[in-house]
Structures are given as structure tokens and as C-alpha cells.
């Protein structure tokens, strides 16, 4: 079963980017390596600060659009509700999934609607 992620990237200046993808690991690496020219590369958006996982692409796209319609204050509150320090979440899950990804010969997936980021 495919999964889709709505995610928020942030940069050192506080600029944020909201996107949706079917491969969060690949997409975050693209942001970090500035592989795709544009907004996120221009504003150095290299920290994954929030993400949600969906099983249905339409639900993921609807959530992305919902978040994009929110005022900044509400987006910040969402991020800080699970990641108060705005830590980069990708190093932790990338480290923990690298072995599993290589062993399985594919990408690692999580299920469920919202991922709790608290220990």
C-alpha cells in the first residue's frame, strides 16, 4: 500500500514550505541538496520540522491545501505542538531507516494519519 506525506520544511530565517510527496525520504534529500531549483532552494529550507502520513493521495493533497490556507501563526502552533524546538526530524528517522531501507531494497513507510514525534 502506498503512503503519502504532507510535510513542512523550514530554514534558518524562519521561512517554511509545505508540500506533499509519495516518498518523504527522497523529497527531503532533494530539499537538503537543493536538487530542485525554486523556493526551497532559494530560502535554504533544509530542516524537516513536521510531517503527517496518509494512505490516500486525495486526503494528503486536501490536507496540504488546508495547511497552506492557514495563517502563519497557526502553522507555527502546529509545528510546535509536536516539535517545540523546530528540530530537524529527518536525521533521526533517516538514521533509523537506512539499514531497513537497504535490506528491503526499497523505501521505508509508516502508516497512520498523524505521526507522534514525542519520545
Dump pLDDT digits (tens) for 24-44.
999 999 999 999 899 999 999
More confident: 50 or 111: 50
- For position 7, what pLDDT does the model report? 98
Which of 24-28, 43-47, 65-69, 89-93 has the lowest average pLDDT?
Answer: 89-93
Instruction: At 19, give phi and psi (nearest 5°).
Output: -145, 175
* Domains, the chain, ordered by start: 4-104 (3.40.1440)
Beta bridge partners of 7: 19, 51
Helix (H, G, I), strand (E, B) or coil at 32: helix
The helix (H) or strand (E) run that includes residue 8 is strand 4-10
Other Cβ atoms less than 10 A from the Cβ of 76: the count is: 17
Dump pLDDT digits (tens) for 94-104.
655 443 333 33
Amino acid at each position: 500500500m502506498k503512503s503519502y506525506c504532507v510535510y513542512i520544511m523550514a530554514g534558518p530565517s524562519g521561512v517554511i514550505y509545505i508540500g506533499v510527496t509519495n516518498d518523504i525520504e527522497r523529497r527531503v534529500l532533494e530539499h537538503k541538496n537543493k536538487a530542485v531549483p525554486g523556493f526551497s532552494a532559494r530560502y535554504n529550507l533544509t530542516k524537516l520540522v513536521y510531517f503527517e502520513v496518509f494512505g490516500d493521495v486525495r486526503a494528503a493533497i486536501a490536507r496540504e491545501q488546508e495547511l497552506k490556507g492557514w495563517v502563519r501563526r497557526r502553522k507555527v502552533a502546529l509545528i510546535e505542538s509536536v516539535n517545540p524546538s523546530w528540530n530537524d526530524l529527518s536525521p533521526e528517522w533517516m538514521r533509523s531507516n537506512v539499514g531497513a531501507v537497504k535490506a528491503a531494497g526499497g523505501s521505508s513507510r509508516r502508516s497512520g494519519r498523524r505521526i507522534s514525534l514525542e519520545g
